């Protein structure tokens, strides 16, 4: 039987990665972000949060590729260094690794270096070390000693710079110090402000350092890239769905001046829009594996719009086979046809108009009911333009934030202002087409096979994913 030697991991075994560093530098945070899970370990602003080695596996398509080991923070590197030096002085013939093995074999429970021994034990069992650095800290003696000890293990080390936002100067200093330890392959990976590119670079660095795992790491990179673009696409599609649902929504109300009935219609509309947004938020959080705790969303201010059938809107004229330049349309626009088309029009007249213009009965059916209702004085209540815009902008903002939120982030995302976001260039055209098609409010085979609908959805998705 082939018993794996923990110090010489086989190429076909999982890649074991120890996440090490001084206490409170963001080791557990890094693992959460890599796992895309807020559930792993405990994160706290204070030393000594992680007390034991904890592991998690990362897979590609159900195939486990690597194991991450979270370790307690190194707290007293001075004492550890002194202790190791003492052991070295006593046993000069032992190699640096053998000295460390001796150290962990000798440490007892409740030893003041028990915590450090857990780290060294895991370091000796791993293939790569991720050394997490809080770049805000100067390169103090304690960090130098930590590196002296860790390099003694002769394992590849990837220094990972954390807390990098706004600390360029400190980062440059750290690079200089690490170069003195022959460490040039560093990585910037802010565990709170996530980018998929940084995650990819982390795996690529591992590939260059542990060639025997190159192909499996490539599999992981490809898998994660595919998964990431699917996540982003699902998020954008979900928001496009929300915009469609709300833009297509209308409540009909009679023209009679019934205040109570009108306010009920308004309430229903407000309720509908808020519930739809809440539902979308819920789905987005689930897509990116966050929870309601991660977001604080202000109630959307809904304002009422009025949707009126505009018989002269290009879409409708076109449906009847008329174009804006035609004699009939010109006559209508000049006022001659208004009585005919709105005031005095009967269904028969409209049908005849359709027939004259060459449009079939099916075309007429699409607008027939609306024309009839308009004639009878029905109006439609809908979410107005401002509401739709606010809805789109803040959902786009939320999507961008979720795409760049590390699973270690502790603050709540605020979703109210979205001044930095832009509407799609053809926004009005898109929403006006949606308003004219209330049947698209719910998914259906007819809707999902409709080319005009699919084009609108694609345009919304493209604009939502545009990060400029
Ligand atoms: N702003 C910011 N805060 C971070 C970042 N990474 C970690 N933190 C915070 O730093 C603190 C420590 O994070 P942990 O992940 O618990 O650190 P650790 O290295 O595992 O700590 P120990 O287990 O105690 O050694 C927490 O308050 C985190 O929210 C980061 O990239 N940016
Ligand atoms: Mg920790």
Do 61 and 174 belong together in one domain?
yes
Cα separation, 257 vs 463, in Å, equals 41
Atom of ligand 1 nearest to the CA of 408: 29
Pocket flag, ligand 1, residue 28 (CB < 6 Å): yes
Residues of the domain holding 70: 15-209
Whether 332 has a pLDDT exceeding 70, the answer reads no
* Residue of 412, 467, 404, 465 lying closest to 33 (CA atoms): 404
Q: pLDDT band at 12, cuts 50/70/90? A: low
Overall number of domains in the chain: 2
Q: Write the DSSP string, 392-407.
A: HHHHHHHHHHHHTB-T
pLDDT at position 467 is: 84
Beta strands in 49-194 (DSSP E): 54-60, 63-70, 128-134, 157-162, 187-188
CA of 206 to the centre of ligand 2 (A): 22
Pocket flag, ligand 1, residue 45 (CB < 6 Å): yes
- Determine what percent of the chain falls in helix, strand and coil, rounding each to the nearest 5: 55, 15, 35
Do 420 and 313 belong together in one domain?
yes
Beta bridge partners of 54: 70
pLDDT at position 365 is: 57
- Which residue among 21, 23, 24, 48 has the greatest number of ligand 1 atoms within 8 angstroms of its CB, and so is best to mutate? 24
Angle CA(140)–CA(141)–CA(147) in degrees, nearest 5?
A: 100
* Residue of 185, 188, 212 lying closest to 199 (CA atoms): 188
pLDDT at position 328 is: 53
CA of 296 to the centre of ligand 1 (A): 22
**Under 8 Å CB-to-CB from 140, ≥6 apart: which residues?**
none
- Which residue among 26, 41, 191 has the greatest number of ligand 1 atoms within 8 angstroms of its CB, and so is best to mutate? 26
Angle CA(116)–CA(173)–CA(123) in degrees, nearest 5?
A: 25
CA of 44 to the centre of ligand 1 (A): 6
CA of 409 to the centre of ligand 1 (A): 9
Do 234 and 192 belong together in one domain?
no
Q: With respect to residue 369, please indicate whether it lies within any of the assigned structural domains.
A: yes
pLDDT at position 144 is: 94
Do 175 and 314 belong together in one domain?
no
pLDDT 10s digits, 339-394: 344 334 444 455 445 544 544 445 555 666 666 666 566 677 888 888 899 999 99
Whether 416 has a pLDDT exceeding 80, the answer reads no
Higher pLDDT, 335 or 164: 164
Do 283 and 197 belong together in one domain?
no
Do 167 and 102 belong together in one domain?
yes
**Residue 146 class from Cβ within 10 Å (0-12 exposed, 13-18 middle, 19+ buried)?**
buried
Cα separation, 408 vs 42, in Å, equals 10
Do 240 and 126 belong together in one domain?
no
Do 183 and 319 belong together in one domain?
no
Beta strands in 32-176 (DSSP E): 54-60, 63-70, 128-134, 157-162
Q: With respect to residue 143, please indicate whether it lies within any of the assigned structural domains.
A: yes
Pocket flag, ligand 1, residue 235 (CB < 6 Å): no
| Residues 316, 322, 324, 329, CA torsion sign | negative
Average of per-residue pLDDT across 263-282? 87
Highest mean pLDDT among 158-162, 253-257, 258-262: 158-162
Q: With respect to residue 150, please indicate whether it lies within any of the assigned structural domains.
A: yes
Higher pLDDT, 256 or 301: 301
pLDDT at position 277 is: 93
Question: Which residues, by Cβ under 5 Å, contact ligand 2, an ion?
Answer: 27-28, 49-50
CA of 45 to the centre of ligand 1 (A): 6
Q: pLDDT band at 214, cuts 50/70/90? A: very high
Do 364 and 273 belong together in one domain?
yes
pLDDT at position 295 is: 87
Beta bridge partners of 18: 69, 129
Q: With respect to residue 5, please indicate whether it lies within any of the assigned structural domains.
A: no
pLDDT 10s digits, 435-455: 888 889 999 999 999 999 999
pLDDT 10s digits, 59-87: 999 899 999 999 999 989 999 999 999 99
Q: With respect to residue 217, please indicate whether it lies within any of the assigned structural domains.
A: no
Please give the helix or strand (H or E) that residue 245 lies within, else none.
helix 214-248
**Under 8 Å CB-to-CB from 188, ≥6 apart: which residues?**
160, 161, 164, 171, 198
* Residue of 75, 155, 56, 153 lying closest to 114 (CA atoms): 75
Q: Are 27 and 34 in contact (CB under 8 A)?
A: no
Q: With respect to residue 215, please indicate whether it lies within any of the assigned structural domains.
A: no
Higher pLDDT, 130 or 344: 130
Q: Write the DSSP string, 197-241.
A: HHHHHHHHHHHHH-GGGHHHHHHHHHHHHHHHHHHHHHHHHHHHH
Average of per-residue pLDDT across 134-144? 94
- Of 152, 175, 209, which marks where a domain is finished? 209
Q: Are 164 and 171 in contact (CB under 8 A)?
A: yes
Rg (CA), the chain: 32
Mean residue pLDDT across the chain: 83
Q: With respect to residue 6, please indicate whether it lies within any of the assigned structural domains.
A: no
Do 45 and 192 belong together in one domain?
yes
Cα separation, 54 vs 27, in Å, equals 11
Pocket flag, ligand 1, residue 51 (CB < 6 Å): no
Higher pLDDT, 17 or 351: 17
**Under 8 Å CB-to-CB from 371, ≥6 apart: which residues?**
309, 311, 341, 345, 347, 350
- Of 178, 209, 240, which marks where a domain is finished? 209
Beta bridge partners of 187: 160
Do 248 and 387 belong together in one domain?
yes
Higher pLDDT, 460 or 323: 460
Q: With respect to residue 263, please indicate whether it lies within any of the assigned structural domains.
A: yes
Chain centroid to Cα 269, Å, comes to 29
Average of per-residue pLDDT across 171-183? 92
CATH number at residue 158: 3.40.50.300
Q: Which of 216-230, 370-384, 410-424, 436-450 has the lowest mean pLDDT?
A: 370-384
Higher pLDDT, 411 or 365: 411
pLDDT at position 308 is: 62
Do 50 and 195 belong together in one domain?
yes
3-state SS of 254-304 is CCCCCHHHHHHHHHHHHHHHHHHHHHHHHHHHHHCCCCHHHEEECCCCCCE
Q: Are 461 and 237 in contact (CB under 8 A)?
A: yes
Q: Which of 202-211, 239-248, 338-347 has the lowest mean pLDDT?
A: 338-347
């Amino acid at each position: 039987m082939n018993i794996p030697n923990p110090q010489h991991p086989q190429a076909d075994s999982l890649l074991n990665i120890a996440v090490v560093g001084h206490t409170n530098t963001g080791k557990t945070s890094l693992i959460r972000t890599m796992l895309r899970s807020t559930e792993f370990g405990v994160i706290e602003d204070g030393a000594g949060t992680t007390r034991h080695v904890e592991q998690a596996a990362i897979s590609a398509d159900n195939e486990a590729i690597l194991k991450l080991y979270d370790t307690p923070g190194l707290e007293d590197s001075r004492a550890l260094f002194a202790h190791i030096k003492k052991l070295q002085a006593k046993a000069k013939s032992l190699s640096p690794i053998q000295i460390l093995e001796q150290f962990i074999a000798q440490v007892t429970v409740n030893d003041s270096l028990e915590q450090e021994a857990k780290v060294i034990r895991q370091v000796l069992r791993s293939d790569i070390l991720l050394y997490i650095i809080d770049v805000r800290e100067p390169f103090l003696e304690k960090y130098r000693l930590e590196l002296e000890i860790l390099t003694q293990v002769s394992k590849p080390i990837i220094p990972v710079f954390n807390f990098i936002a706004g600390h360029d100067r400190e980062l440059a200093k750290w690079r200089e110090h690490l170069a003195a330890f022959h460490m040039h392959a560093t990585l910037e990976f802010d565990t709170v402000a996530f980018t998929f590119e940084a995650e990819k670079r982390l795996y690529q660095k591992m590939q260059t350092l542990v060639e025997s795992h190159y192909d499996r790491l490539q599999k992981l990179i490809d898998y994660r890239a595919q998964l990431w673009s699917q996540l982003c696409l699902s998020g954008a599609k979900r928001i496009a769905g929300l915009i469609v649902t709300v833009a297509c929504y209308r409540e009909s109300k009679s023209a009679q001046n019934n205040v109570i009935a009108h306010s009920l219609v308004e309430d229903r509309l407000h309720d509908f829009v808020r519930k739809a947004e809440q539902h979308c938020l819920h789905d987005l959080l689930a897509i990116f594996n966050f929870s309601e705790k991660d977001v604080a969303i202000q109630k959307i201010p809904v304002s009422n719009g009025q949707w009126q059938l505009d018989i002269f809107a290009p879409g409708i004229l076109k449906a009847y086979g008329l174009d804006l330049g035609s004699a009939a349309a010109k006559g209508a626009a000049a006022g001659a046809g208004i009585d005919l088309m709105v005031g005095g029009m009967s269904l028969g007249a409209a049908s005849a108009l359709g027939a004259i213009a060459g449009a079939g009965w099916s075309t007429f059916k699409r607008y027939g009911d609306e024309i009839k209702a308009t004639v009878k004085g029905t109006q439609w209540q809908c979410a107005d333009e401002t509401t739709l815009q606010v809805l789109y902008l803040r959902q786009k903002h939320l999507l961008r934030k979720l795409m760049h939120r590390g699973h270690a982030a502790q603050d709540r995302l605020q979703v109210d202002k979205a001044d930095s976001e832009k509407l799609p260039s053809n926004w009005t055209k898109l929403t006006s087409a949606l308003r004219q098609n209330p049947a698209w409010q719910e998914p259906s085979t007819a809707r999902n096979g409709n080319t005009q609908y699919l084009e609108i959805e694609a345009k919304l998705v493209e604009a939502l994913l545009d990060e400029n």
